[in-house]
Structure 1
Amino acid sequence: MIVPHALEIGKVRDVHIATTRAVAENGWFGRERSKQLSFTTLSVSVPPNRDPGKLQPGFNNPNPLREFTIAARNDARTEAVFIDRIQDELRKRPPNEREITLFVHGYNNSFLEGAYRMAQLYHDLDLPGVPVHYSWPSAANPLGYTYDRDSVLFSRDGLEDVLRQLHRAGSRRIILVGHSLGTMLVMETLRQIEISDPGWADNALGGVVLISPDLDVELFEMQASRIATLPEPFAIFVNARDRALALSARLNGRTERLGNLTNPEALAELPVTLVDVTAFGEGGLQHFTLGSSPLLLQILGQSAELDATFQGDRAGRTGLLPGTALTVKNATQLILSPQILLRN
């Protein structure tokens, strides 16, 4: 799977990975669970001349000209070595870019799929700072939903440990990002940290982003209410036409999940921002619109505009577009549209 000459072909993104997956017979991390964390850094070659949002993963005999490819692997023997590596990366950056983006993948993801997705988001959004990926033991099988949900609960302590160590690494801020079922892992972990260390999340994190969260709305309310002060910004990307979440809702005997919620009244008591990206969905499951829509990536890549949105007041005057923001008590809903690009 490792193609060293890919270092000379595509744009290389180093992804630092902590995982509770056990090592499989082929030497890579598989679906089985491990009680001990493992650490590695993968150099991912992003193929040249690709469209933003397009992710073609390379596995066996990958073609670096067309596929995301692993160009190098550098395992860390201990957690201390892993954190030292991240600290070195932080020191190399300007002070205003000494940030960490920690990504937690979702349901039905293999080890490499999660690493490739982290590299793609980091590349397409031109994120500052150091990309870190937390890889929990998904079965990587559409029929493995129950196994994946149990693996989420299994992996809470590991994510807490990683978050606390990253906080000690001295970054300017940490942005915690979860996708799909990985958002349950994010919320459960923040909840358990809050129980033992009230106020930690707000002090340690510079923001939380939940992408297409496969979470029961009432469960999310209970998790969030246990956290004294939610980190800000706290953004939830939703898509009313997310077919994967529609299926999950039916399987769970509900009408909707948090990720296809379009009415901010359900979260009125929480200081969160629902970012509605329904207008950008194009066929398929529409379960990762944030990372697969070139137009949406272009909008989100305008970081100054996005920062203005999140830092705006709660009266609906977010500065993004007149009439696109709705405020219900503490919650804000932003309805993004491709028309935003017409202003530029």
Structure 2
Amino acid sequence: MRRVLTILFVFLIAACVDRGATVIVPEALNIGTIRDVHVATLRAPNEQGWFGSERAKELSFSTVSISVPPEHEPGKVRAGLARPDPRREFTVAARTDLKDDGAFIQRIRDRLLKLPAGEREITVFVHGYNNSYLDGVYRMAQLYHDLDLPGVPVHYSWPSAANPLGYTYDRDSVLYARDGLERMLFDLRKAGARRIILVGHSLGTMLVMETLRQIEIREPRWAENALGGVILISPDLDVEVFEMQASRIAELPQPFAIFVNSRDRALALSSRINGASARLGNLTDPDALAELPVTLIDVTAFAEGGLRHFTLGNSPLLLQILGQSTELDAAFQRDRSGRSGLLPGTVITVQNATQLILSPHLVLQE
């Protein structure tokens, strides 16, 4: 019980700040490094002119220019909200609202055409539980900046309550937001990207899997043909539910990577809430997914402090390893037959599943 109360306390402290709105600071365009994040959201507008926790009937589209501060440390997101300091905090430097799907598709297409042919790809990030609109946008900007990812960043912002006590609301919102994510993915397909990588975090992984499942029912093998890979980070998903979702998809897009962490405190709390002993995100035994062509990437060794729920984005050393890994980059450029060898580490193969255990002692190649 004490452990559960401690985790709840950490959640509640994080919720004390209003994360639903900020001010736009145009001078930040000349201070930090600008990362444009293209956002589709099913959140309704709030009183401050941003997007809150209420559910909307239709998608809204925007491009948000985030200034990453000169003093930024990899793995940390210092969010500027009420009074942002562009030299020390992530700051919104500009925002352009787009009128409809057509304008959104054209915006993405224009950005793709400005890139070299080999970099015309899209990474879609779907945030997790207890996230505001700005939480997800800042996180997307941070990952793109710290990993120096190519292509165009797109964020799908579903209507989370952005409240640690709003877990049930968030679970319902995941179901509510499936059609919106499907529509956005179809839009992105029209933009002409060379490759689309779909990334989900926490409860957002349930949204990813539910959406891929319903797309498969509507258009068999769409995901296999349209997506260049799927990444699930700390998935807050029942293992058996995931197996059922995955089994409905004829061929999982490859590579299909699942980042797991057995020391994830948020998932430990989710296990208590859901009455289950484990979630997919703290799974350490590849036998449980032996029949599926997936790669479990165990990052437990990098988990330190706090909730340990976004180790991939919060660990400077892990970010360094991922950012310098030519193997990881190559894996996402191979065809579907080459899903092994993502990164150096301890590799365990059980039937179709592969487990890769990463260690801070890995030798980084310059």
Common fold: TM-score over 0.5: yes
Q: Say which of 129, 145, 149 aligns to 2:171.
A: 149
1:333 aligns with 2:355: yes
Taking structure 1 as reference, are residues 250 and 314 closer, same or farther at Cα in structure 2, changes over 3 Å only?
farther
**Secondary structure of 1:339's partner?**
coil
1:282 aligns with 2:304: yes
Taking structure 1 as reference, are residues 41 and 288 closer, same or farther at Cα in structure 2, changes over 3 Å only?
same
Preserved contact between residue 253 and residue 336 of structure 2 (Cα < 8 Å): no
Q: Which whole-Å CA distance do the structure 2 matches of 1:70 and 1:221 have between them?
A: 39
**Secondary structure of 2:193's partner?**
coil
1:13 aligns with 2:35: yes
Q: Which whole-Å CA distance do the structure 2 matches of 1:37 and 1:296 have between them?
A: 34
Q: For residues 293-333 of structure 1, give each alpha carbon's deviation from its aligned partner in whole angstroms, at most 9, with x where no partner exists.
A: 000001111241214567699999737436x1000000000
**Residue 72 of structure 1: CA displacement?**
0.2
Give the AA of the match of 1:174.
I
1:126 aligns with 2:135: no
Aligned residues with identical type, % of pairs: 72
Match of 1:256 in 2: 278
**Secondary structure of 2:253's partner?**
coil
Q: How does 1:188-227 map to 2 (within 5 A)?
A: 188-227=210-249
1:173 aligns with 2:195: yes
Q: Which whole-Å CA distance do the structure 2 matches of 1:39 and 1:53 have between them?
A: 27
Match of 2:48 in 1: 26
Q: Which whole-Å CA distance do the structure 2 matches of 1:239 and 1:36 have between them?
A: 36
Q: Which whole-Å CA distance do the structure 1 matches of 2:350 and 2:175 have between them?
A: 32
Q: TM-score, normalised by structure 1?
A: 0.96
Taking structure 1 as reference, are residues 38 and 321 closer, same or farther at Cα in structure 2, changes over 3 Å only?
closer
Match of 1:187 in 2: 209
Note the residue ranges of structure 2 that are not aligned, 5 or more in a row: 1-22
Give the AA of the match of 1:38.
S
Preserved contact between residue 316 and residue 327 of structure 1 (Cα < 8 Å): no
Taking structure 1 as reference, are residues 248 and 90 closer, same or farther at Cα in structure 2, changes over 3 Å only?
same
Q: Which whole-Å CA distance do the structure 2 matches of 1:34 and 1:316 have between them?
A: 38
**Residue 342 of structure 1: CA displacement?**
5.5
Match of 1:318 in 2: 341
* Pairwise CA RMSD: 1.7
Preserved contact between residue 45 and residue 64 of structure 1 (Cα < 8 Å): yes
Match of 2:10 in 1: none
Q: For residues 92-119 of structure 1, give each alpha carbon's deviation from its aligned partner in whole angstroms, at most 9, with x where no partner exists.
A: 0000000000000000000101100000
1:299 aligns with 2:321: yes
Give the AA of the match of 1:67.
E
Preserved contact between residue 206 and residue 235 of structure 2 (Cα < 8 Å): yes
Match of 1:236 in 2: 258
1:70 aligns with 2:99: no
Q: Which whole-Å CA distance do the structure 2 matches of 1:211 and 1:53 have between them?
A: 15
Q: For residues 50-109 of structure 1, give each alpha carbon's deviation from its aligned partner in whole angstroms, at most 9, with x where no partner exists.
A: 211011011111001111000001000111001100100000000000000000000000
1:38 aligns with 2:65: no
Q: For residues 142-198 of structure 1, give each alpha carbon's deviation from its aligned partner in whole angstroms, at most 9, with x where no partner exists.
A: 000000000000000000000011011100000000000000000000000000100
**Secondary structure of 1:340's partner?**
coil
Q: Which whole-Å CA distance do the structure 2 matches of 1:92 and 1:307 have between them?
A: 21
Q: TM-score, normalised by structure 2?
A: 0.91
1:269 aligns with 2:291: yes
Q: For residues 16-45 of structure 1, give each alpha carbon's deviation from its aligned partner in whole angstroms, at most 9, with x where no partner exists.
A: 000000001111100000010000000000
**Secondary structure of 2:321's partner?**
helix
Deviating above 4 A after TM superposition, structure 1's stretches of 4 or more consecutive aligned residues are 308-317
Match of 1:112 in 2: 134
